[in-house]
């Protein structure tokens, strides 16, 4: 692929994305009105498709992270200093166990939330953590085993990939979670519950760029089933977590493979990442958790974080990316 073609494709994709984002800025509320499926007075949707993605929506972030630390763990064993090698390996194993444990715990929490049984979840949370930690140790061991099967010639590139992935996760999630707090945008489903109970004075629709500051859900709002994150609509944390699946699409750039195979594999992975991210983003609007600009911004920011991290690591460790 020539440099000119790459520039044309990139410019086209950016132009299309910005055009959609601008349109969503003007029609955010109308889009949610058309797509969202909420029962009267209910904060959580009963839509099976939407609820499924709400439960598994954060999984890709933890899978990408676990894969990255497994690669680094394998690489650490090649160090000549055995104490340092095993110390770093143990640290990476701990990171993998942490990622898998948090992944399963978060998914379980969403299941209990939709069953209206968060109080029961809190009672067994400690036991769940212990059980999931044991299971996660097995998953981490399996991940390391599978990573060890990757030919040695790819190890150098995968080290750079792993560092880039961890940096991308930090930038993407750090940015999204920080922005959520000071933007304080009210969720669509929060508005619908307030309207149902005649509390129109508390309904506060704002555009994505309006800074509302940190806002807390009142006791009265909580009594109507509104969650404590009722003012954290922009941007979408789930979309950010899922969009990190794009990191896998960049793996071919770090491997010692032919240009033809690299482009073909990357195109397939990029297509899969785009399709599934769009599905996830759609479901966030479907369940009333987010507006269109919330998911678009989160997806765009995450993709930028991955590309930037790849570029930065490629600059710091030259010759390992294409």
Q: What are the structural domain ranges in the chain? A: 3-62+153-316
Whole-angstrom distance, CA of residue 107 vs CA of residue 113: 10
pTM of the entire structure? 0.93
211 exposure class (CB count in 10 Å sphere: 0-12, 13-18, 19+): exposed
Peptide bond into 235 cis (omega under 30): yes
The pLDDT profile of the chain, 322 residues, written as one tens digit per residue, is: 677 888 898 899 999 999 999 999 999 999 999 999 999 999 999 999 999 999 999 999 999 999 999 999 999 999 999 999 999 999 999 999 999 999 999 999 999 999 999 999 999 999 999 999 999 999 999 999 999 999 988 888 999 999 999 999 999 999 999 999 999 999 999 999 999 999 988 899 999 999 999 999 999 999 999 999 999 999 999 999 999 999 999 999 998 888 889 999 999 999 999 999 999 999 999 999 999 999 999 999 999 999 999 999 888 775 444 5
d(CA 51, CA 169): 24
């Amino acid at each position: 692929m020539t440099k000119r073609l790459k520039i044309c494709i990139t410019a086209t994709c950016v132009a299309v994305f910005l055009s959609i984002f601008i349109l969503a800025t003007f029609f955010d509320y109308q889009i949610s009105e058309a797509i969202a499926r909420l029962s009267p007075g209910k904060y959580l949707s009963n839509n099976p498709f939407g609820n499924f993605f709400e439960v598994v929506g954060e999984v890709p972030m933890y899978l990408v992270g676990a894969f990255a630390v497994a690669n680094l763990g394998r690489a650490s064993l090649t160090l000549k200093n055995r104490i340092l090698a095993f110390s770093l390996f143990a640290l990476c194993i701990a990171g993998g166990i942490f990622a898998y444990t948090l992944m399963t715990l978060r998914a379980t929490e969403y299941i209990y939330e939709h069953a209206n049984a968060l109080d029961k979840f809190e009672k067994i949370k400690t036991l769940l953590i212990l059980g999931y930690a044991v299971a996660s140790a097995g998953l981490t061991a399996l991940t390391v085993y599978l990573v060890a099967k990757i030919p040695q010639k790819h190890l150098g590139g995968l080290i750079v990939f792993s560092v880039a992935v961890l940096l991308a996760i930090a930038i993407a999630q750090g940015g999204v979670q920080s922005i959520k707090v000071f933007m304080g945008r009210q969720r669509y489903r929060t508005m619908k519950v307030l309207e149902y109970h005649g509390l129109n004075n508390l309904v506060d629709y704002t555009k994505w760029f309006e800074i509302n500051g940190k806002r807390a859900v009142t006791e009265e709002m909580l009594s109507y089933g509104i969650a404590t994150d009722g003012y954290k609509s922009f941007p979408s944390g789930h979309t950010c977590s899922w969009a990190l699946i794009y990191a896998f699409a960049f793996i071919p750039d770090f491997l010692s493979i032919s240009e033809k195979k690299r482009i073909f594999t990357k195109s397939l992975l990029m297509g899969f990442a785009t399709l599934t991210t769009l599905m996830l983003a759609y479901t966030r609007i479907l369940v009333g958790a987010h507006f269109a600009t919330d998911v678009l911004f989160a997806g765009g920011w995450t993709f930028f974080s991955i590309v930037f991290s790849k570029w930065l690591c490629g600059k710091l460790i030259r010759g390992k990316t294409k």
